[in-house]
Structure 1
């Protein structure tokens, strides 16, 4: 569990923002949402596979865009 020490003369909202950021980095809220309801193993595998496919397609698209950008001659624009 992330802890935040309130500094001298620090605003409460700023401390709360730091705490939320630490919780987000630790993955507490996403873990809580996943454990809120039971997820069947087949559903979990399906969701993870879909996420992997999405990451792979995003990676390919980035590489393709970088290749097109590098291939374009300097001084010309589309």
Structure 2
């Protein structure tokens, strides 16, 4: 991925305990749940966001970065 402008790592910050953890984002699926290592809170996307990275991360998910739209919109096409 030398010429790939997308970021694949994002730091998620828990809204409950403020614990931060850097994670590698999936490129082929949205991550709808994330368990905080600090307080074990189960994070879910905020309304209007496609995944926990878009809601709580420092970098949005790869589909949003590449302007492909969120995973939810892609899966509803048919």
TM-score range, shorter chain: under 0.3
Structure with larger Rg: 1
Higher strand fraction (1 or 2): 2
User: Normalized against structure 2, the TM-score is what?
Assistant: 0.26
Higher RCO (CA-CA < 8 Å; seq separation 6+): 2
* Higher-helix-fraction structure: 1
